A and B are shown apart, each in its own frame.
Chain A
Amino acid sequence: MSEDVTVTLNDSAVAALLNSPDGPIGIDLLKRGIRVETDVKRRLKQTGKGRVYEKYKPRRTHRASAPGDAPATDLGHLGASYGRALGHDGRGLFVQVGTGLKVGLFLEIGTRTIDPRPALRPALAKAAD
């Protein structure tokens, strides 16, 4: 005995599922973004293992990060600048995590003369594992 089963997708419901920021996919993406952001901030709060600097305004001693480690927090500006946002483009919903501070990019990937101090990529990799 056999029976034919016809499945009809509700196109508008599927579109809402895939594209609505308030739907389960949007909420899940946002949760993942928060997880990555939190992990980045945790990495930035770790004490550095690199060189020690005497700094001013305010006067303080700062131990920088060692090459390869996440940047060590000084006044906390970089950590505070990290955020996440849910967005939508031609491919659908996405979540982005990052900082608007240029120094964050150049610490993350290094420069010709400065070794990288990644914080975002390890957090992304950990979230994906």
Chain B
Amino acid sequence: MGDLAVFVDQVTLLRDWLRGLDIAGLVGVHVWAGGLPTTPTDPATPAITVRRIPGGYIDGPLELVDLQFDVWATTIPVAARVAGALTTQLVTCGRVALGSIDGCDVAFIGVDELTLASGHVPDLSDPNYQRYLVTGRGVFAAKPTP
């Protein structure tokens, strides 16, 4: 049987992979799926949050998923540095086996460079946090675990 596109929760697998990379040598394991944790109320930074946003489609064995990454830091230069390192990682990673979920082996094939956008956006809700936004279309492949 060839590759199959299967709806799985890629975001938590992506989070786990990013946690192992220690992006920019600064982030360590502070990568979260969804938003920043609410407890403690001042989570460690720099940190990255990743979430799925509406959009994307399935193309044969591939699922193209629109992703929003937020880099959180206390200063703009640190946020920019982490965002730069994250972007490089997303574009140059090649095919990465993320692991198995729901009976499927899931691989991340990177973010389509043409869809990448990033920029500094202050956060209205908390002036102590600086934020760099990185969005792009991630490409995933999934096939049933043998």
Contact = CB atoms under 8 A, between A and B. Distances in A.
B48 interface: no
A126 B55 contact: yes
Nearest to A69: B54
Contacts of B70: 109-110
A105 B124 CA distance: 10
B125 A122 contact: no
Contacts of A68: 53-54
Contacts of A110: 35, 68, 70
Interface stretch (A1-9, A17-25, A113-121): A113-121
Contacts of B66: 121-122, 125
Looking at chain A's contact residues, the main secondary structure is loop
A128 B117 CA distance: 15
B133 A114 contact: no
Interface residues of B, number: 24
Contacts of A128: 115
Looking at chain B's contact residues, the main secondary structure is loop
Contact of B125 (A70, A105, A114): A114
B30 interface: no
A129 B64 CA distance: 11
Interface string A78-112: 00000000000000000000000010011001111
Nearest to A43: B54
Contacts of B36: 112
Interface of B: 34-36, 51, 53-57, 66, 68, 70, 72, 115, 121, 123-126, 129, 131, 133, 135, 137
